[in-house]
Structure 1
Amino acid sequence: METSSGAIPAPSGLDRRTLLRGGAVASLGALVSSSSAFAAPRAAAPGGPEPSADGLLLTKFRDPLRTPPVLRPRGRGDHDELTVRLRTADVTVHSELAPVRMWTYEGSYPGPTIEAVRGRRLRVAWENRLTGNIPVTAVEFGRPGGPMADPLTNYPGTEGCREVPGVADLEPWAAVHLHGMLTGGGNDGWMENLVAPGEAQLSAYPDDQAATTLWYHDHTHHVSRFSVYAGLAGLYVLRDPGERAPDLPRGRYEVPLVLSDRNFALDGSGALTGRLVHKVEMVNAKLMRVHAAPYTLVNGVVWPYLEVQPRWYRFRIVNTANARIYRLMLLADGRPVPGALQVVGTDQGLLDRPRPVEGALNLSSGERADVLVDFGAFRGRSVKLVNTMEGVVPGDSSVRHDLLEPDVMQFRVAGRGSGGRYTPPRTLSPAFERPTHHDLPHGERPRWVVLVGPGTADVPELWEMEEVEPAEAGGITLPSPGIVQVEDAAGTVTTLRRTALRYDDGNAFTAAHGGVEVWKYLNLAASPHPMHIHLAHFRVLSRENYDVTGFDRTVRGTARPATHMGAAELEPHELGDKDTIRVGTAGQIVPGPNGTPGELVTVLVRFPVVGRGVHHCHMLEHEQHMVRPLVVSPAAHRHAGGHH
Structure 2
Amino acid sequence: MEPTYDDKSDPAGLNRRALLRGGTAVGLGALAAAAPLFTRPRTAAAAAPGGPEPSAAELKLTKFRDPLRIPPVLRPRDHGGHDELTVRMRTADVTLHSELPPVTMWTYEGVCPGPTIETVSGRPLRVVWENRLTGNLPVTAVDFGLVKGPSPDPLSNYPGTEGCQEVPGVADLPPWAAVHLHGMLTGGGNDGWMENLVAPGEAQLSAYPNDQAATTLWYHDHTHHVSRFSVYAGLAGLFVSRNAEERALGLPKGDHEVPLILSDRNFGLDASGALTGRLVHKVEMVGAQRLMRPHAGPYTLVNGVIWPYLEVDPRWYRFRIVNTANSRIYRLMLLADGRPVPGALQVIGTDQGLIDKPIPVDGALNLSPGERAEVLVDFGAFRGQAPKLVNTMQGITPGASDRRNDLLEPDVMQFRVADRRPAGRFTLPPVVSPTFRRVTRADLPHDRADRWVVLVGPGAANLPELWEMEEIDPAGITFPSAGVVQVQDAEGTVRTLRRTAMAYDDGKAFTAAHDSVEVWKYLNLAAAPHPMHIHLAHFQVLSRENYDIGGFDRVTRGSARPIAFKAAVALEPHERGEKDVVRVGTAGQITAGPNGTPGELVTVAVRFPVVGRGVHHCHMLEHEQHMMRPLVVTPAAHLHMGGHH
Q: TM-score when scaled to structure 1?
A: 0.95
Q: Please name the residue that 2:221 is paired with.
A: 218
CA shift, 1:435, in A, is: 1.1
Q: Please name the residue that 1:8 is paired with.
A: none
Q: Please name the residue that 1:379 is paired with.
A: 383
Map 1:560-579 onto structure 2 (within 5 A).
560-579=561-580
Rounded to whole Å, the distance in 2 between the matches of 1:23 and 1:642 is 59
Return the match for 1:363 from 352, 361, 367.
367
1:276 aligns with 2:279: yes
Q: Please name the residue that 1:259 is paired with.
A: 262
Q: Please name the residue that 1:33 is paired with.
A: 32
Q: Higher mean Cα deviation, 444-453 or 419-428?
A: 419-428
1:333 aligns with 2:337: yes
Rounded to whole Å, the distance in 2 between the matches of 1:592 and 1:79 is 56
CA shift, 1:35, in A, is: 4.9
Rounded to whole Å, the distance in 2 between the matches of 1:35 and 1:365 is 32
Q: Please name the residue that 2:245 is paired with.
A: 242
Residues 37 and 630 (structure 1 numbering): CA distance in 2 closer, same or farther, change over 3 Å?
Answer: closer
Q: Which amino acid aligns with 2:573?
A: P
Q: Please name the residue that 1:159 is paired with.
A: 162
Q: Assess if the C-alpha contact under 8 Å between 2:12 and 2:35 holds in 1.
A: no
CA shift, 1:25, in A, is: 4.3
Rounded to whole Å, the distance in 1 between the matches of 2:638 and 2:447 is 21
1:44 aligns with 2:47: yes
Rounded to whole Å, the distance in 2 between the matches of 1:109 and 1:187 is 24
Q: Please name the residue that 1:597 is paired with.
A: 598
CA shift, 1:224, in A, is: 0.2
Residues 374 and 193 (structure 1 numbering): CA distance in 2 closer, same or farther, change over 3 Å?
Answer: same
Rounded to whole Å, the distance in 1 between the matches of 2:314 and 2:290 is 51
Rounded to whole Å, the distance in 2 between the matches of 1:478 and 1:641 is 35
Q: Assess if the C-alpha contact under 8 Å between 1:510 and 1:633 holds in 2.
A: yes
Q: Which amino acid aligns with 1:140?
A: D
Rounded to whole Å, the distance in 1 between the matches of 2:600 and 2:273 is 44
Rounded to whole Å, the distance in 2 between the matches of 1:274 and 1:115 is 31
Q: Please name the residue that 1:3 is paired with.
A: none
Rounded to whole Å, the distance in 1 between the matches of 2:644 and 2:260 is 49
CA shift, 1:244, in A, is: 1.3
Q: Please name the residue that 2:235 is paired with.
A: 232
String of CA shifts for 1:75-109, please: whole Å, max 9, x gaps. 00000000000000000000000000000000000
String of CA shifts for 1:487-514, please: whole Å, max 9, x gaps. 0000000000000000000110000011
Q: Please name the residue that 1:148 is paired with.
A: 151
String of CA shifts for 1:267-311, please: whole Å, max 9, x gaps. 000000000000000014542111000000000000000000000
Residues 172 and 628 (structure 1 numbering): CA distance in 2 closer, same or farther, change over 3 Å?
Answer: same
1:615 aligns with 2:619: no
Residues 25 and 93 (structure 1 numbering): CA distance in 2 closer, same or farther, change over 3 Å?
Answer: closer
CA shift, 1:27, in A, is: 9.2
Q: Please name the residue that 2:5 is paired with.
A: 19
User: Aligned to 1:366, what secondary structure does the other structure show?
Assistant: coil
User: Aligned to 2:381, what secondary structure does the other structure show?
Assistant: helix
Q: Please name the residue that 1:178 is paired with.
A: 181
User: Aligned to 2:32, what secondary structure does the other structure show?
Assistant: helix
Rounded to whole Å, the distance in 1 between the matches of 2:5 and 2:335 is 37
Q: Assess if the C-alpha contact under 8 Å between 1:35 and 1:92 holds in 2.
A: no
Return the match for 1:72 from 70, 75, 79.
75
Q: Percent identity?
A: 76
CA shift, 1:45, in A, is: 2.3
What RMSD, in angstroms, separates the aligned Cα atoms of the two structures?
1.8
CA shift, 1:54, in A, is: 2.1
User: Aligned to 2:622, what secondary structure does the other structure show?
Assistant: coil
Q: Which amino acid aligns with 2:70?
A: T
Q: Higher mean Cα deviation, 436-445 or 271-280?
A: 436-445
Q: Assess if the C-alpha contact under 8 Å between 1:27 and 1:68 holds in 2.
A: no
1:410 aligns with 2:409: no
CA shift, 1:155, in A, is: 0.3
String of CA shifts for 1:249-269, please: whole Å, max 9, x gaps. 111100000000000000000
String of CA shifts for 1:456-490, please: whole Å, max 9, x gaps. 00000000000013xxx121000000000000000
Q: Which amino acid aligns with 1:509?
A: F
Rounded to whole Å, the distance in 2 between the matches of 1:258 and 1:282 is 28
Rounded to whole Å, the distance in 1 between the matches of 2:486 and 2:13 is 57
Residues 621 and 94 (structure 1 numbering): CA distance in 2 closer, same or farther, change over 3 Å?
Answer: same
Q: Please name the residue that 2:349 is paired with.
A: 345
Q: Assess if the C-alpha contact under 8 Å between 1:316 and 1:370 holds in 2.
A: yes
Return the match for 1:202 from 205, 208, 215.
205
Q: Assess if the C-alpha contact under 8 Å between 1:28 and 1:69 holds in 2.
A: no
1:626 aligns with 2:627: yes
How many residues of Structure 1 are paired with residues of Structure 2 in the alignment? 626
User: Aligned to 1:146, what secondary structure does the other structure show?
Assistant: coil
Q: Which amino acid aligns with 1:206?
A: P
1:315 aligns with 2:314: no
User: Aligned to 1:55, what secondary structure does the other structure show?
Assistant: helix
CA shift, 1:443, in A, is: 2.4
Q: Higher mean Cα deviation, 422-431 or 282-291?
A: 282-291
In structure 1, runs of 5+ residues without a counterpart are: 1-12
1:465 aligns with 2:466: no
String of CA shifts for 1:123-156, please: whole Å, max 9, x gaps. 0000000000000000000111011000000000
Residues 37 and 213 (structure 1 numbering): CA distance in 2 closer, same or farther, change over 3 Å?
Answer: closer
Q: Assess if the C-alpha contact under 8 Å between 2:176 and 2:197 holds in 1.
A: yes
Rounded to whole Å, the distance in 2 between the matches of 1:432 and 1:88 is 41
CA shift, 1:436, in A, is: 1.0
Q: Higher mean Cα deviation, 625-634 or 283-292?
A: 283-292
Rounded to whole Å, the distance in 2 between the matches of 1:429 and 1:27 is 38
Q: Higher mean Cα deviation, 293-302 or 592-601?
A: 592-601
Rounded to whole Å, the distance in 2 between the matches of 1:135 and 1:150 is 27
Q: Assess if the C-alpha contact under 8 Å between 1:34 and 1:107 holds in 2.
A: no
Return the match for 2:446 from 412, 423, 442.
442
Q: Which amino acid aligns with 2:501?
A: A
Q: TM-score when scaled to structure 2?
A: 0.95
String of CA shifts for 1:9-50, please: whole Å, max 9, x gaps. xxxx978xx335x76447977973345454799993200000
CA shift, 1:598, in A, is: 0.2
Rounded to whole Å, the distance in 1 between the matches of 2:34 and 2:556 is 55
Q: Assess if the C-alpha contact under 8 Å between 1:542 and 1:603 holds in 2.
A: yes
Q: Assess if the C-alpha contact under 8 Å between 2:527 and 2:595 holds in 1.
A: no
CA shift, 1:419, in A, is: 2.3
String of CA shifts for 1:417-475, please: whole Å, max 9, x gaps. 42234211111111111111101100211000000000000000000000013xxx121
Rounded to whole Å, the distance in 2 between the matches of 1:360 and 1:37 is 32
Q: Higher mean Cα deviation, 422-431 or 224-233?
A: 422-431
Q: Please name the residue that 1:552 is paired with.
A: 553
Rounded to whole Å, the distance in 2 between the matches of 1:330 and 1:215 is 24
Q: Assess if the C-alpha contact under 8 Å between 2:47 and 2:418 holds in 1.
A: no
Rounded to whole Å, the distance in 2 between the matches of 1:39 and 1:219 is 29
